[in-house]
Amino acid sequence: MAGTGLFGGTFDPIHYGHLRIAEEFADALALDQVRLMPTANPPHRSGALASNAQRLEMVRLAIADNPRLAADDRELRRDGTCYTIDTLSEMRAALGPSAPLAWLIGADSFLSLDRWHRWRELFDLGCLAVACRPGFELAHWKEVAAPALVKEVLPRIQTLSVTGQVELGTIRLLPTTPLAISSTAIRAQLANGHSARYLVPDAVLDYAGRHLFYRI
């Protein structure tokens, strides 16, 4: 049975690090759709940033030619604080209890998972896939992760042995291609007038250039 994947992020802007792990996530777990979902702008963020609508548009432009990827604006439409637990619960309710559902996060996000609202319950809603990210190598996770994660979550991590394993409650480490690309570095490059070509899809760069939201 083909499954659904969810990949939330700030995507300010979306870059090839995001797109590549979304693609590898879809392949590894045999997902027929991965939903890329811009999360609401956290109030503490500041600086030259894109709006919710602009981040969503950049996601749309980035995935326009990929039928397996879809943009999902549900968190941008919701009033009040958005939590992943609510989003995953909503998706689980829509898909039904036995449909394969997986959610994707990068290794850096995974290492602070214990700060997410009702984080332990997230595992009851789907399979978690963790993508590799340069600078956050597995060998160091025990030293840098919060004690609750080291005790309760790290022992449960499995590498993927069979393509398409999406069991509820499992945590899978995806051996994704390490790409040291970050939105922070891209924003700085653009603000300084440097090129971000080949880090970000051309359509996204054109859009960012036209709207000039990464100026200092």
Cβ proximity to ligand ATP, 20 vs 96, nearer residue: 20
What are 174's two structure tokens?
């995806």
Binding mask 60-89 for ligand ATP (x = CB under 6 A): ------------------------------
Among the listed residues 35, 60, 133, 172, the single contact to ligand ATP using CB under 6 A: 133
What are 209's two structure tokens?
């250039």
Is residue 17 involved in binding ligand ATP (CB under 6 A)? yes
Q: CB of 178 within 8 A of CB of 10?
A: no
Is residue 9 involved in binding ligand ATP (CB under 6 A)? yes
Q: Strands across the sheet with 127-131, in order?
A: 69-71, 31-38, 3-9, 101-106, 127-131, 171-174, 157-159
CA distance 58 to 41: 15
Closest by CA position to 173, among listed 128, 136, 204: 128
From 68-76, 88-96, 146-154, 179-187, span contacting ligand ATP (CB under 6 A): 179-187
The amino acid sitting at 152 is E
Among the listed residues 109, 112, 165, 170, the single contact to ligand ATP using CB under 6 A: 109
Binding residues for ligand ATP, per CB under 6 A? 9-12, 17-18, 21, 105-106, 108-109, 131, 133, 179, 181-184
